[in-house]
Structure 1
């Protein structure tokens, strides 16, 4: 990880990244408790780690990385994302948007607000995403 990414990640954790990563972790634990929710728990846990340290990596569709479609990027992935949206995606997205609005009030917080808006999009549709180095 680059020194700039390390600095940005430290600032990110201090000004809002930690509590949203905790939200993703809570969603992952709730999904894991219900055995049926294990596929969503895995995706939520991966994105919780990404939410904790977003600078220096990015989220992309898994089929763009592997070159082949799989269960998460096909029709079952769409159904899984719709279920996710209903159960947890909307409230995680709202949390990211509210945090982005609060951060955008300051000039220093604008890059962090933009990162939260990107994470809000991922919160709505996480199945089939993979985190890769930037």
Structure 2
């Protein structure tokens, strides 16, 4: 599939590219921290905001907590894919085309992945849509 046919990043390929370029151990740790550390910190900030409500402006803590939580949620599919790709040892195989034509893909994947991580639920929704489309094509 060429870049012209698919302008949006493929979340699974994004995880595979990250593994190819940075190694599976580093990427799994990064994605796990994205899910568990940011998620935990987001929950803690939100809870702290609720506890300090009479003494502190709640909005700032709740907003900060929600931002960290949505980023953590966006890391979930990347973390799951990275575990699966690492288990199968299939990173290079899954992105062989993109590696051959990296000059077309790298900039777009970097930009979109950064944007989608910070848009609430974007990576999560994109993953669900792509998995649904994949299942429809297989049947």
Q: TM-score, normalised by structure 1?
A: 0.29
Q: TM-score, normalised by structure 2?
A: 0.28
Higher strand share: 1
Query: Which structure has the greater CA radius of gyration?
Result: 2
- RCO greater where, 1 or 2, for CA within 8 Å and sep 6 or more? 2
